[in-house]
Amino acid sequence: MKDDCEQTRAVLASLAKEQDRKPLDLTPWLALQEWIGSENCDVWIPYAAALADAIAPLAVRLRRDFKTILTLIKAHAILHQSNRDRTAEGKIHASPDDYAAVRELVADLVGQGVEASVSPAIRQTVSKTGELITGTKKEVTTAELATALGIDKSAASRRIRVAVEKGYLRNLEEKKGRPARIVLGDPMPKEIEILPQADDPRLRQCGTCAEGEGGEGGAAYPAR
């Protein structure tokens, strides 16, 4: 989550407006749930195999992350089933647009989870540390980083903790309770795109195939 002053101001403003909001009408949501429950919600993802082949297998955790991605694609297709084709067996035909929506939500999380990318907040914190360490200044404190980043000290401490855990920063102070002495650590990795773009031709091609050619999940469609 964003931890800058602008986000804090937006949260405060939103909380202030809550007293003027009318009670939420849950009727449409309950009706949606009943409608979904009355339909055939089996989903076929024709580009599943192509998507699996296009993802760089950089970490073991991708084995479970990929299953989650497929589940999210199915969930999105179920919600938009009125605008989706169905197979001869009545299954909802997930389109590449379903993957596009899911990718927008989780691409950064997946990349950070396998350490193939660094969150903007951590990248900003490490970069600012490098800017502050110049000339005779060999280390920085949490307070100095907080001031330079325009965030409060607790937010800066959280960022530093994560950066130290990842190895991008080091704390030279070994005694607990003493102010941190922050220096640069290992270089941050270059950004690696784990999930292919939604307009990847391999996915778009399989997304228009008919069921039966590739079977369940589109397993017979090779990535080109």
- Claim to verify: residue 52 and residue 159 sit in the same structural domain: no
The encoded tokens of residue 219 equal: 């397993």
What's the CA gap between 107 and 195, in Å, rounded? 6
SS (H, E, C) the chain: CCCCHHHHHHHHHHHHHHHHCCCCCCHHHHHHHHHHHHCCCCEECCCHHHHHHHCCCCCCCHHHHHHHHHHHHHHHHHHCHHHCCECCCCCEECCHHHHHHHHHHHHHHHHHHCCCCCCHHHHHHHHHHHHHCCCCCCCECHHHHHHHHCCCHHHHHHHHHHHHHHCCEEECCCCCCCCCCEEECCCCCCCCCCCCCCCCHHHHHHHCCCCCCCCHHHCCCCCC
pLDDT of residue 207: 54
- Claim to verify: residue 62 and residue 109 sit in the same structural domain: yes
Q: Does 46 fall in a domain? A: yes
- Claim to verify: residue 45 and residue 97 sit in the same structural domain: yes
Q: Does 17 fall in a domain? A: no
Min mean pLDDT across 24-33, 44-53, 193-202 is at 193-202
Q: Does 12 fall in a domain? A: no
- Claim to verify: residue 100 and residue 210 sit in the same structural domain: yes
- Claim to verify: residue 66 and residue 163 sit in the same structural domain: no
Q: What's the structural domain count of the chain?
A: 2
Q: Does 3 fall in a domain? A: no
Q: Identify the domain containing residue 160 by its residue range.
A: 120-184
Tracing tokens 């647009």 back to the chain, one arrives at: 97
- Claim to verify: residue 169 and residue 64 sit in the same structural domain: no
- Claim to verify: residue 93 and residue 155 sit in the same structural domain: no
Rg of the chain on CA atoms, in Å: 23
Q: Does 18 fall in a domain? A: no
pLDDT of residue 6: 85
Amino acid, single-letter form, for residue 215: G
CB 163 within 8 A of CB 126: yes
Q: Does 71 fall in a domain? A: yes
List the one residue out of 90, 47, 91 whose CA is nearest residue 66: 47
Q: Taking all residues of the chain, what is their mean pLDDT, rounded to a whole number?
A: 85
List the one residue out of 18, 2, 44, 26 whose CA is nearest residue 220: 44
Percent of the chain with pLDDT over 70: 90
CB 92 within 8 A of CB 42: yes
Q: Does 27 fall in a domain? A: no
For residues 84-104, give the mean pLDDT: 93
CB 42 within 8 A of CB 77: no
Q: How many CB atoms lie within 10 A of CB 67?
A: 10
- Claim to verify: residue 80 and residue 46 sit in the same structural domain: yes
pLDDT of 163 above 80: yes
- Claim to verify: residue 48 and residue 96 sit in the same structural domain: yes
User: How sure is the predictor about 44, in pLDDT bands with cuts at 50, 70 and 90?
Assistant: very high
pLDDT of 85 above 60: yes
- Claim to verify: residue 87 and residue 178 sit in the same structural domain: no
Between 8 and 115, residue with greater pLDDT = 8
Tell me the CATH number at 161: 1.10.10.10
- Claim to verify: residue 112 and residue 152 sit in the same structural domain: no
- Claim to verify: residue 106 and residue 133 sit in the same structural domain: no
Task: Give per-residue pLDDT as tens, 165-196.
Answer: 989 999 999 888 888 999 999 988 777 788 88
